[in-house]
């Protein structure tokens, strides 16, 4: 088992998107702390198993971020299960979880399951639309969500999801200041090292997704945040 609390940098790969062998090797050998496989659309058993077997050639932790029941399978080190705290549809709070537990509850090793309190903040993102998230949140709202996560639900991870857009620093800071126990993941719009540095000075762990597909060179440079002390 790995110590997730030590992770500062993660690449998130979308099983529905193409990545060359060379780019995949560069990502896996980059000194990132882990790879997460996850996406919103067209996440299938086939494309997840294919990408999993390609990443498995490399010696780094691999997690599946569960977005539907069909694509859950054994073979990952961890299963990140999001509960979208600002979703207006209970399916994304615990409805999906109910389905998963009914089907797989008897075989799940819960030491591999990490429950993420998700806060979706980019109204334009696919994930916001899919999960019917209420993204119209002010500072007081996001602080209350952070408090809920840290003090009441005691989630191990809170994930601020700006998917596709660089986040509002003030909100990320406000959330970070409320978290004393819960680990803060930040993902969204990180395209270069200076953005990576800025977000990783606030969040415990940053996640780089899209940049892998749009500008691999700069995406790889974001791992350099690990060279500096926080």
Feature table: binding site for Mg(2+): 14, 40
Could you tell me how many residues of this chain bind ligand 1GP (CB under 6 A)? 13
3-state secondary structure of 23: helix
Q: 30 to each of 11, 45, 97, 194, how far by Cα in Å?
A: 10, 27, 33, 17
What binding mask, one character per residue, do residues 170-199 give for ligand 1GP by CB under 6 A, x or -?
Answer: -----------------xxxx---------
Using the rule CB under 6 A, is 12 a contact of ligand 1GP?
A: yes
Q: Which is nearer to ligand 1GP, 94 or 214 (CB)?
A: 214
CA distance 2 to 9: 14
Q: Shortest distance, CB of residue 105 to ligand 1GP, whole angstroms?
A: 26
Q: Which residue is nearest to ligand 1GP (CB)?
A: 187
Please list the residues that pair with 35 across neighbouring strands.
11, 62
What binding mask, one character per residue, do residues 195-214 give for ligand 1GP by CB under 6 A, x or -?
Answer: ------------xxxxx---
Q: For residue 29, what is the DSSP state?
A: T
Q: Alpha helices, DSSP H only, in the chain?
A: 21-28, 45-55, 95-104, 126-130, 139-147, 169-178, 193-200, 211-214, 216-221
Q: Shortest distance, CB of residue 106 to ligand 1GP, whole angstroms?
A: 30
In the set 56, 164, 198, 218, which binds ligand 1GP (CB under 6 A)?
A: 164
Q: Return the range that interacts with ligand 1GP (CB under 6 A); candidates 72-80, 140-148, 156-164, 221-229.
A: 156-164
Q: Which residues contact 194 (CB under 8 A, 6 or more apart)?
A: none
Which residues are at the interface with ligand 1GP (CB under 6 A)? 12, 161, 163-164, 187-190, 207-211
């Amino acid at each position: 088992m790995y110590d997730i609390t030590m992770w500062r940098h993660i690449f998130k790969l979308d099983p529905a998107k193409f990545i060359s062998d060379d780019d995949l090797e560069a990502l896996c050998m980059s000194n990132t702390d882990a790879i997460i496989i996850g996406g919103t659309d067209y996440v299938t058993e086939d494309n997840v198993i294919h990408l999993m077997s390609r990443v498995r050639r490399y010696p780094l932790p691999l997690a599946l971020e569960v977005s539907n029941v069909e694509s859950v399978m054994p073979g990952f080190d961890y299963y990140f299960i999001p509960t979208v705290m600002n979703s207006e549809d209970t399916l994304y709070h615990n409805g999906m979880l109910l389905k998963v537990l009914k089907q797989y509850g008897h075989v799940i090793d819960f030491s591999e399951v990490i429950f993420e309190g998700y806060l979706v903040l980019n109204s334009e993102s696919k994930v916001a639309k899919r999960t019917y998230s209420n993204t119209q949140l002010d500072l007081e709202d996001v602080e209350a969500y952070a408090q809920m996560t840290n003090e009441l639900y005691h989630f191990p991870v809170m994930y601020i999801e700006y998917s596709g857009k660089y986040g509002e620093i003030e909100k990320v800071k406000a959330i970070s200041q409320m978290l004393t126990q819960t680990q803060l993941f930040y993902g969204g719009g990180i395209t270069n090292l200076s953005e990576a540095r800025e977000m990783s000075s606030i969040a415990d762990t940053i996640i780089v997704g899209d940049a892998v597909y749009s500008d691999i060179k700069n995406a790889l440079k974001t791992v350099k945040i690990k060279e500096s002390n926080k």
